[in-house]
Amino acid sequence: MAKGRFWDMPIDTGPIPPSESDFDCIVVGGGPGGAAAASYLAMGGKRVLLIEKGVWPRDKVCGDAVGGKSLGHVKALGIKAKLESTPHFRVTGIVFSSPNGKEVMVPLPEEDVERMEAGYSLPRQQFDWLVFERASELVLKNNGAVIQGATVTKVLDSDNKITGVEIGIGGKRGEKRVYSAPWTIGAGGYQCPVARKIVKEMANEELVDKMHYCGGYREYWDGVKGCEGDSGSIEIHFVDSIIPGYFWLFPLGGGRVNVGIGMVIGLMDKQKKKLKPMQADVIANHPSFKDRFADAKMVEGTGKGWQLPFGSPRKKEKNQPRRAFAPGALLIGDAASLVDPFSGEGVGNALVSGEMAARHVIENKGGLAYQEDLWAALGPELTNSYKMQKLSRRKWLLNWFVGKASRKPVIQEMMTEMIASKEAQENLHSKWFLMKTLLF
Ligand SMILES: Cc1cc2nc3c(=O)[nH]c(=O)nc-3n(C[C@H](O)[C@H](O)[C@H](O)COP(=O)(O)OP(=O)(O)OC[C@H]3O[C@@H](n4cnc5c(N)ncnc54)[C@H](O)[C@@H]3O)c2cc1C
């Protein structure tokens, strides 16, 4: 293992298997979801083919916050100690501000990081390197194969069952090879070819609903005031010009900060807004931020946009949030549209669904059972988050709530529990609890 910044080094994944090879399962995409699914499958004794279009080291546009939900998987995959030995920012709180500039800090106690589901922030280049390298090690050890720098160009089917994939080595126009397996897991993110095949082509259902897709834009900055140190709060600001949506400052340690904004695409289109100029305006002119950025410098070439497929329930379709299975195939992570519609977090749900899909393949269960299990596990919190997202579209409500929360410790405690513990999220269903806490 290379010393120093090993996440800037290439990962050796061995030779590309000959065309027409067979596997127990093909995993398309080597982000957190695909890498986790491949790892769990290999640990369960399956011969896996893991295919990734990028070549490590590679970046992924993200806010870089890895929430507590991910920590159990990071541990189960055997990379927790290694991850914690690399530079990261330990999140001990979340600062929220409302459009009128009021602020509240919700603490996530450091000593209780696992139970309270606080987490880290660290660049995705670093996080993804760790999970992909671990997946490669486990897959290769179990007689599978890992391919980087190859794009899945076709998803193959026979008698309405997905049977394998065609790849182009080095890109779409590169040398073609085909592979087959009784199961294929689609983990290719928001542009996943397996999702397109299952949802659009096979089921003729809607893949992209702009009211359930978010546009996100991030930049890396050095020297933003108030973001020094290697532990502390990440910041979520509901700024006047970005409602409905938010502006974030997620420190990464060592004085570097992930700065970005996100907004539901359907609502952004209605307001005819663009994320990059909106962010530039907040940084240069907003009274709460212009001084904090006065001596800061953007890291060149880091301004990039991407899309977040939200997991909010979509009324028209019975498979929520959208279809995630076909005979012979399952979808996970962003390919299954599982990003939290309030916080924008998707890494945790990519890992959770990766483990769940691997289990279903190992047990050779039908696809509908996977969809039902997935929604049973994630549906309640995704539905809650969607309600919160809709409430946050009202400026007056945000002003009122943050103002109230900044004065009442009991609301701060409630928010800590809401963010951090799953049981406490149940309280959101109790109108009596909310009324009592907010009004008195
Ligand atoms: C601006 C922004 C901010 C965000 N902030 C946060 C945050 O702070 N915390 C958080 O938890 N989440 C955040 N998210 C969401 C998070 O990035 C995703 O939910 C997460 O990356 C999903 O993981 P995944 O493995 O499903 O997909 P991805 O990470 O997208 O990985 C998919 C992989 O598949 C590969 N691939 C795609 N097509 C093909 C193909 N045809 N053939 C082969 N390989 C292919 C891609 O190269 C990629 O490596 C943010 C997203 C954005 C855009």
Is 340 a member of any domain?
Answer: yes
Is 77 a member of any domain?
Answer: no
Q: Which atom of ligand 1 is nearest to the CA of 54?
A: 47
Flag whether the pTM goes above 0.75. yes
Tell me the pLDDT tens digit for each residue of 194-253: 999 999 999 999 999 999 999 999 999 999 999 999 999 999 999 988 887 899 999 999
What CATH number is associated with residue 356? 3.50.50.60
> Does 54 lie in the same domain as 139?
yes
State residue 436's pLDDT score.
53
List the structure tokens of 332: 């996970």
Q: Which of 308, 330, 355 delimits the end of a domain?
A: 308
Is 81 a member of any domain?
Answer: no
State residue 210's pLDDT score.
96
Ligand 1: residues with CB < 6 A are: 28-34, 51-54, 60-65, 67, 151-152, 187-189, 191-193, 216, 218, 260, 306, 308, 333-335, 339, 344-348, 350
State residue 428's pLDDT score.
53
Q: 25-28 and 183-186: which strand pairing?
A: parallel
Residues of the chain with pLDDT under 50: 1-2
Q: Which of 16, 60, 213, 218 to mutate to test the pocket of ligand 1 (most atoms within 8 A of CB)?
A: 60
The pairs formed by 38-41 with CB atoms below 8 angstroms and a separation of 24 or more are 38/135, 38/138, 38/139, 38/144, 38/146, 38/358, 39/77, 39/131, 39/134, 39/135, 39/138, 39/139, 40/354, 40/355, 40/358, 40/359, 41/139, 41/358, 41/361, 41/362
Overall domain count for the chain:
3
For the chain, the first-to-last Cα distance in angstroms comes to 58
> Does 107 lie in the same domain as 30?
no
Is 167 a member of any domain?
Answer: yes
At 179 the three-state DSSP class reads strand
At 209 the three-state DSSP class reads coil
> Does 170 lie in the same domain as 41?
yes
> Does 134 lie in the same domain as 52?
yes
Q: Which of 26, 50, 62 to mutate to test the pocket of ligand 1 (most atoms within 8 A of CB)?
A: 62
- Interatomic CA distance for residues 370 and 109, integer angstroms: 35
Is 243 a member of any domain?
Answer: yes
Strand partners, 28: 51, 186
State residue 427's pLDDT score.
55
> Does 315 lie in the same domain as 271?
no
What CATH number is associated with residue 242? 3.30.9.10
> Does 232 lie in the same domain as 217?
yes
30 Cα–ligand 1 center, Å: 9
State residue 236's pLDDT score.
92
197 Cα–ligand 1 center, Å: 19
State yes or no: cis peptide before 321, omega within 30 of 0: yes
> Does 357 lie in the same domain as 282?
no
60 Cα–ligand 1 center, Å: 7
Tell me the pLDDT tens digit for each residue of 154-189: 999 999 999 999 999 999 999 999 999 999 999 999
Is 101 a member of any domain?
Answer: yes
Residue ranges making up the domain that contains 433: 408-439
